[in-house]
Structure 1
Amino acid sequence: MLEVTPFLTAQVTKFRCGGFTVGIAFNHCMFDGTSLMNFMNSWTEIARGRPLSLIPRHDRTIMKSRVPPQITGTSDSFVHISDVSDLKALYEEEQIVWKSFHFDNQKLATLKKMATTDEQIISSCSSFVALAALVWRARTIALKMKPDQLSKLLFPVDLRSKMKPPMPGYIGNAVKACCLCTAGELIDEPMSFTAGRIQEAIERVNEDYVWSWIHSLDVYQFDLLSLTSLVLVSWQRFDYGSTDFGWGKPRTLGTGDLSPGCLFMADGSEKGGIVAVLVLPLLAMNTFEKLVQLE
């Protein structure tokens, strides 16, 4: 085992059919998903002898926290949560399984209608917000969390567009937007209320939020891997279909370990569906699958 995680490693595996895969592992302290995708597409442009379409910005000092840290606002991201539902034992005792769920345009339209039923709470929302509300609630029920169990929904927000001036090409990391409530609240409230929570969390992320979040990292411990929380990552807008080393566009894209998270990916079709990839204990996964059926 390596004592120090490399910044980046890559492996090419060739197959007898003539195809190949490119496997990438990276240190998340260096990259977020946007940084990595920009790196991959720049790599392929160089391989094809083309000029870089986006010049990378490697100066990390522009986002360096101040001394002393200046926390102007609080973020629920750093609230400590006790595992009163004993999810740790559940994950240790049961088989852990991965599964993907496809939501086509019709299903996404149904979800958005469910999420905006009460227009006094939220009148419109994106497919991401509606699907995130469904997945967070269904996972909470499937894991049989106790009503007083606090649960977070955490999802990265690209800080580049939130800064003044914006920072296109910045090689760094994202901040996390966060929703926090009890499992009982999440299960009992209408989906429109949950969607409203998520929409508000997105809208809170501005330049002040970014700086406060960065400074909070210096003061508080950020428990990204708490089983009581759902870390949701969206690759819907990533242009991984353009990662062409000269042999054509990729046929498919996969990911590594997600526990305890969920990944949203574009389904690759022109119609714009979403594939949600999730990891759960076996019995919880069976329950989750029933809860997200929209037929």
Structure 2
Amino acid sequence: MASSSSSTSTSPCLAFHVKRCEPELVVPAKATPHELKYLSDIDDQEGLRFQIPFIWFYKNSNSMEGKDPVKVIREGLGKALVYYYPFAGRLIEGYKRKLVVDCNAEGVLFIQADADISLERLSNNIQPPYPFLDEVLYNVPGSDGIVGCPLLLIQVTRLICGGFILALRFNHTLCDAFGLLQFMNAISEMAQGAQEPSIQPVWQRDLLSARNPPRITCTHHEYEEAMTGPVNMDQTNLVQRSFFFGPNQIKAIRSHLPPNLRSCSQFELLTACLWRCRTLALKLEPDEIVRVSCIITARSKRRGPGLPVGYYGNTFAFPAAVSEAGVLCKKSLGYAVELVKKAKAEMNEEYIKSVADLMVIRGRPPFIMRGNLIISDIADSKSANVDFGWGCPDYAGPATAFPQISLQVKCRNKEVDGIVVPICLPFLAMIRFEQELEEMTKEVNTYNITPVMITSAL
């Protein structure tokens, strides 16, 4: 296939060329049902109508000598789409903008590319943010909408060392990170010769749809009416940085807690710490109401209705901890941890059913943006286990941060295992955030990424 475009990375530290072929549509390898499939009322939230980029970096493997990752992944994708055929369809809007998948087998967008750089040269740049993301995940014109657009865009970029980068963008209404990784593992299995996925996909979106009659039975601070007034974050001067938390950093932060709270989970600890540092950095009015919304999955029976293995829709709610900014900033970290623990404890089967009912009763309200930080722990999503035959990736996870959303991802940094968290803030607030975080971790340097300017489009 002839090359359709050539571009150069704009990173000040890296200079390399990427040659892309024309985007193509990969369709299921066999005929699939042409039908309409309704999303659940947890899927069909206004706040999930966006696309999320993920990225994987793979080294060369001697055992795959002569194998082309583009061909291997493209063929595996076509076979996996036989089982996950809704991914090859298009969203349409039904009554009251209800999202429905038209399973028409139009296919997912796929791009093959080549870059004149090795993974070794990229080694200091394989944690988000990525100044070269647009080069390894080309935004095909007209492809980034929600309705009537491809639900998945994949680009495989070969590197001169024999390694490659797989970057993709998926429509969040169709699945969450765990559902995406279930699909990616199916692709990897089919690419390596499996006749069918080891985990069969389950649709059954009615399990997380509103009850009849719908009834709101819980308090949902994440959807409360927001205060009026301008957004408290400068959207025109945003920067991204990633912060790495290894054992030393975690131990240092935990030392700020009283003995009765030191057994809190790592997620609770980091969420409370990030929330407090971010609030301090934004310099809000003392009476401003701030929230941290904890994304909690309902996949387990303890937290949800006991969803079947193979369910790949969105399965989470995000109960929010709430405080006045002044109180949160003045009180110790233990205050924030207690609020986060309380919010997490609210998540159960009744809570997520109440969210589904709220979507129907209140007309699908968006989650609050003003004064809200949404944090998700995808450390256990097994994104680092996706193996197409070249072994596990050097990094796997989200490719960017968002102004109101941060993800906690497993990462290995300088031979140390830990958690990396991409953060997006206005430039001056980012400087203050670093200072606050450095104070929490004492003299441990938690960041190693140069800030990258991004636009207000986020």
TM superposition score normalised by structure 1: 0.90
1:3-36 Cα offsets, whole Å, 9 max, x none, are 5343222221223332221121111111111111
Of 147, 151, 164, the match for 1:7 = 151
Structure 1 residue 242: Cα displacement: 1.3
Structure 1 residue 83: Cα displacement: 5.6
With over 3 angstroms needed to count, the CA separation of the structure-2 counterparts of 1:214 and 1:29, relative to structure 1, is: same
The worse-fitting range, judged by mean Cα deviation, of 244-253 and 276-285 is: 244-253
Structure 2 equivalent of residue 172 of structure 1: 313
Q: Do the aligned partners of 1:30 and 1:172 also contact (CA within 8 Å) in 2?
A: yes
With over 3 angstroms needed to count, the CA separation of the structure-2 counterparts of 1:84 and 1:194, relative to structure 1, is: farther
| More helix by percentage | 1
With over 3 angstroms needed to count, the CA separation of the structure-2 counterparts of 1:6 and 1:15, relative to structure 1, is: same
Following the alignment from structure 1 to structure 2, what is the Cα–Cα distance between the partners of residues 251 and 118?
37
Structure 2 equivalent of residue 98 of structure 1: 240
Partner of 2:390, secondary structure, is coil
1:24-61 Cα offsets, whole Å, 9 max, x none, are 11111111111111111121111112353322211212
Question: Partner amino acid for 1:81?
Answer: A
Of 387, 392, 401, the match for 1:249 = 392
1:149-184 Cα offsets, whole Å, 9 max, x none, are 111111211111123444332111121121112211
Structure 1 residue 283: Cα displacement: 0.5
Structure 1 residue 123: Cα displacement: 5.5
Partner of 1:267, secondary structure, is strand
Establish whether residue 17 from structure 1 lines up as the match of residue 17 from structure 2: no
Following the alignment from structure 1 to structure 2, what is the Cα–Cα distance between the partners of residues 228 and 167?
36
Of 424, 433, 436, the match for 1:279 = 424
The worse-fitting range, judged by mean Cα deviation, of 171-180 and 255-264 is: 255-264
Structure 1 residue 96: Cα displacement: 1.1
Following the alignment from structure 2 to structure 1, what is the Cα–Cα distance between the partners of residues 435 and 264?
24
Q: Matches of residues 216-295 of structure 1 in structure 2 within 5 Å?
A: 216-220=358-362, 221-224=364-367, 226-253=369-396, 254-268=398-412, 272-293=417-438, 294=441, 295=443
Structure 2 equivalent of residue 80 of structure 1: 225
Partner of 1:91, secondary structure, is coil
The worse-fitting range, judged by mean Cα deviation, of 274-283 and 67-76 is: 67-76
Structure 1 equivalent of residue 352 of structure 2: 210
Following the alignment from structure 1 to structure 2, what is the Cα–Cα distance between the partners of residues 168 and 53?
11
Following the alignment from structure 2 to structure 1, what is the Cα–Cα distance between the partners of residues 193 and 374?
38
Structure 1 residue 227: Cα displacement: 4.3
Q: Do the aligned partners of 1:112 and 1:127 also contact (CA within 8 Å) in 2?
A: no
Aligned length: 289
Structure 2 equivalent of residue 45 of structure 1: 189
Partner of 2:239, secondary structure, is strand
Partner of 1:186, secondary structure, is helix
With over 3 angstroms needed to count, the CA separation of the structure-2 counterparts of 1:84 and 1:149, relative to structure 1, is: farther
With over 3 angstroms needed to count, the CA separation of the structure-2 counterparts of 1:104 and 1:257, relative to structure 1, is: closer
Of 272, 286, 302, the match for 1:133 = 272
With over 3 angstroms needed to count, the CA separation of the structure-2 counterparts of 1:194 and 1:84, relative to structure 1, is: farther
Establish whether residue 146 from structure 1 lines up as the match of residue 285 from structure 2: yes
Question: Partner amino acid for 2:255?
Answer: K
Structure 2 equivalent of residue 67 of structure 1: 212
The worse-fitting range, judged by mean Cα deviation, of 14-23 and 38-47 is: 14-23
Q: Do the aligned partners of 1:177 and 1:201 also contact (CA within 8 Å) in 2?
A: yes
Structure 1 residue 232: Cα displacement: 1.0
Structure 1 residue 258: Cα displacement: 1.9
Unaligned runs of 5+ residues in structure 1 are none
Question: Partner amino acid for 1:110?
Answer: A
Structure 1 residue 68: Cα displacement: 3.0
Structure 1 residue 210: Cα displacement: 1.2
Question: Partner amino acid for 1:146?
Answer: E
Unaligned runs of 5+ residues in structure 2 are 1-141, 444-458
TM superposition score normalised by structure 2: 0.59
With over 3 angstroms needed to count, the CA separation of the structure-2 counterparts of 1:157 and 1:100, relative to structure 1, is: same
Question: Partner amino acid for 2:238?
Answer: I
Structure 1 residue 286: Cα displacement: 0.5
| More strand by percentage | 2
**Relative contact order, higher structure (CA 8 A, sep 6+):** 1
The worse-fitting range, judged by mean Cα deviation, of 222-231 and 170-179 is: 222-231
Question: Partner amino acid for 2:189?
Answer: E
RMSD: 2.1
